[in-house]
Amino acid sequence: MRTTVLRPRVRTAALAASVALMLGLAAAPAADAASAHRPETATLDQLAHKTGRYFGAAVDNPELADTDFAKILGSEFGQTTPGNGMKWYATEPQRGVFDFTAGDEIVKFAQSNGMKVRGHTLLWHNQLPSWLTSGTWTADELRSILKNHITHVVKHYKGKVFAWDVANEIMNEDGTYRENIFYKTIGPSYIADALRWARAADPRVKLYLNDYNVEAIGPKSDAYYKLIKQLKAEGAPIDGFGMQAHLALQYGFPDRLQENIQRFADLGVDVAITELDIRMLLPSDAAKLAEQADWYGRVTDACLTVKRCVGITVWGYTDRHSWIPSVFPGEGAALPWDENLAHKPAYDAIHDALAKAAAAKKD
């Protein structure tokens, strides 16, 4: 990533106080989850809702057994994304045999807490069942398999999810197509086909392409820009573009983020920040936490500035359940709540950005 041209947010006394609080929490006993949630203040989603957007957090099924975690998830956020429960390996573990247990559990939790659900994901190169990846398929056979999978999954969740990540991570960093099983067997036409099959199964759900390292303007985001423009010209149903935003302090803030969001919106599609987390090299310290908070605020501001940026989802909300340490050894502390479910400075930066936008909307 390149160095950002956006101006840094001004760090306030409140942010400095938050950093000092974090340093105190590091040496204190585990914070009480209820007091850390500060129920007397507006939630992130309540503030986002006032701007016409949602603010959500992803969840994986085992995490729902953590009652303190689940309580905050259900009260602070207005949207959730199943981390794994709707992926192919979970929903069609055997050919033609569907299992919606995991996805249904999260949908039930969301419904009971008044939350919207983003479906994730209909096709991806990872977490595919072995029966699919070990098979030898003709193009026609694989198209039939893909159509059947998408049709069954989308119909099952019709009216229960408001958007689907139809195709996830289909581009390489240089802007070429990722040679996944679908591309190698069918060719690039599988993308438009997948969108059309999803639309046929649920005419009202929003259909997205979704990827990481597309927040900056560069070869990968350029490829998606070209693809979405092409899909729209062909009449394929594409409603949105998901920028995952798995960011890292050591690589710099994504170059021209707001401009990049705007150019996709100008194509006539919605944009969502779908999997936001901002990791750092461990151990964390006051300077890193302050920089992280600044970044969270800047991402939030960038979305709030573009009318068709419809919402933000953090990929989990607490370091207690973050995927980062297991995938990036020596990195972590990526989320707005710490392992004790207490707010970090990042939370205050998000809250301040949303509150400012909500107040401006009211005026």
- The band of 96, judged by pLDDT with boundaries at 50, 70 and 90, is very high
The SS3 assignment for 57 reads strand
Average pLDDT over residues 171-175: 98
Looking at residue 149, what is its pLDDT? 98
Which residues does the annotation mark as catalytic? 169, 275
The SS3 assignment for 62 reads helix
Average pLDDT over residues 54-61: 98
324 within 8 A of 331, measured Cβ to Cβ: yes
Q: What single string gives the DSSP state of each residue in 193-218?
A: HHHHHHHHH-TTSEEEEEESS-SSSS
Question: H or E stretch including 314?
Answer: strand 309-314
pLDDT tens-place string over residues 229-245: 999 999 999 999 999 99
The pTM assigned to this predicted structure is 0.89
Average pLDDT over residues 83-110: 98
Q: Domain spanning 13-362: which CATH class is it, in words?
A: alpha beta
For strand 309-314 and strand 54-59, is the pairing parallel, antiparallel, or unpaired?
parallel
Closest by CA to 215, choosing from 180, 260, 178, 158, is 260
**Residue owning tokens 């041209």:** 5
What is the rounded distance in angstroms from the CA atom of residue 189 to the CA atom of residue 315? Answer: 30
315 within 8 A of 246, measured Cβ to Cβ: yes
What is the rounded distance in angstroms from the CA atom of residue 70 to the CA atom of residue 89? Answer: 25
What is the rounded distance in angstroms from the CA atom of residue 73 to the CA atom of residue 79? Answer: 9
Per domain, the residue ranges of the chain are 13-362
Looking at residue 34, what is its pLDDT? 38
Q: Which residues pair with 207 in a beta bridge?
A: 164
Cα separation values, 3 from 112, 216, 255, Å:
43, 10, 6
Question: Is 132 buried (19+), middle (13-18) or exposed (0-12) by CB count in 10 A?
Answer: middle
Question: H or E stretch including 74?
Answer: helix 67-76
322 within 8 A of 316, measured Cβ to Cβ: yes
Looking at residue 40, what is its pLDDT? 55
